[in-house]
Amino acid sequence: MLTSTQELLETASRNIYAIGAFNVYNLEGVKAVVQAAEAASSPSMLQIHPSALKYGGSALMALCLEAADKALVPMSVHLDHSTSSDAIQMGLAGGLRSIMADGSPFPYEKNLEFTRAMTELAHSYGAVVEAEIGRISGTEDGLTIAEKEAKMTDPDQAVEFVHETGVDSLAVTIGNVHGKYQSEPRLDFNRLETIRRRINIPLVLHGASGLPASMISQSIERGVSKFNVNTEVRQAYMQILKTGACNLPDSDLLECMDDVIDAMKQVIMGKFDLFGSTNKAHLHQSPYMAASSRS
């Protein structure tokens, strides 16, 4: 059942759990998320990174939208980390109604300007927008504490940014990183609490792969209602390609793909448990008018 991202996040926030948004690249990834969500009776999101969009184009968007629509649980389809208006325009034209306008690589003023323009555009399609201020991307290694803090979301700036851009959700940087955590993750929960007190739109945490259960639950208690997961699911996929049914001399492609889907599904179901969304599908009751919004 294709549902609006805003409904997913707001219902999760009210009931103190979070929605898992999983990056997908192909049919196997989409099947893994949908099957896991149905098996766990959990709401969820399919997420397409612009590099995957470049690879899969409108066919990948159509696949995700159809799979979400046919799913027995509430799901939305989201365009991840878009730093260009081209990707956003392509996503909107392809029927996506949830996008991330990511101006975080730019200086603050340019981020503000880019996000404001993309939000206006997305809203004109009835789409919702996630944006980000602060930036810790790949690694924290080699940075001093002061340098790390400078890249984290500044609560005062966050208030101004949300007010000036009209975005619908905000990705915060509180020590989270994409990819593998090179050392023990350390999240600044005081900062998260301050941001939550001052901003009333849903908060998002990227880089959820590798975060321990205690940090996930503390983040949810302090207002995070969406976690982005990519690395762990992708690793499960790659691992099976190197082993099991995929690595036998006479390996059968369909058996190999079944194993791949199953491996990703196990990781995703584990995340639903951590995010508290298992068995929460029934709480979401506002199906999105998919057909009308795609026209």
Residues known to be catalytic: 80
Query: Smallest gap, in angstroms, from Cβ of residue 171 to ligand 13P?
Result: 8
Q: Toward ligand 13P, which CB reaches closer, 217 or 231?
A: 231
Query: Smallest gap, in angstroms, from Cβ of residue 21 to ligand 13P?
Result: 8
Nearest partner of 149 among 158, 138, 140, 159, judged by Cα? 140
Tell me which residues in 38-97 interact with ligand 13P (CB under 6 A): 80-81
Query: Smallest gap, in angstroms, from Cβ of residue 179 to ligand 13P?
Result: 5
Q: How far apart are CA 169 and CA 66, in angstroms?
A: 24
Residue 6 touching ligand 13P (CB under 6 A): no
Q: Toward ligand 13P, which CB reaches closer, 50 or 155?
A: 50
Tell me which residues in 169-208 interact with ligand 13P (CB under 6 A): 178-179, 206-208
Nearest partner of 19 among 188, 237, 219, judged by Cα? 219
Secondary structure class of 80 (helix, strand, coil): strand
Tell me which residues in 16-35 interact with ligand 13P (CB under 6 A): 23
| Interface mask toward ligand 13P for 208-227; x: CB under 6 A | xx------------------
Strands 19-23 and 128-132: unpaired
Q: Are 59 and 39 in contact (CB under 8 A)?
A: no
Query: Smallest gap, in angstroms, from Cβ of residue 145 to ligand 13P?
Result: 22
Binding ligand 13P (rule: CB under 6 A), the pick from 170, 229, 261, 274 is: 229
For the chain, state the CA radius of gyration.
Answer: 18
Length of the chain: 295
DSSP per-residue letters across 125-160: TT-EEEEE-S---S--TT--HHHHHHHSPPHHHHHH
Residues making contact with ligand 13P (CB under 6 A): 23, 80-81, 178-179, 206-209, 228-231
